[in-house]
Amino acid sequence: MYMYTDYDTRDKLNEYLNREKKLLQKKLVGLYTLREFFPSLHGKIYNVRIRKAIAELPGLGCIERGLMEIYLDDEGYNLRQVLHLNRDILDESGKRLDNEKIQAKIQEQLQEYRKEIAEIDQDLLDGWERFQEILNIKQYYKRLFNKFSYPLRQNLQEDFYVKDYFGW
**pTM (2 d.p.):** 0.80
| pLDDT at 154 (0 to 100) | 81
What would the DSSP string read from start to end of the chain? --------SHHHHHHHHHHHHHHHHHHHHHHHHHHHHGGGGTTPBPSHHHHHHHHTSTTEEEE-SSSEEEEETTS-GGG-EEEEE-GGGB-TTSSBB-HHHHHHHHHHHHHHHHHHHHHHHHHHHHHHHHHHHHHHHHHHHHHHHTTS-HHHHHHHTTTTS-TT----
Mean pLDDT of the region 3-21: 82
Mean pLDDT of the chain: 88
- Per-residue pLDDT of 114-155, as tens digits, reads 999 999 999 999 999 998 898 888 888 878 888 888 888 888
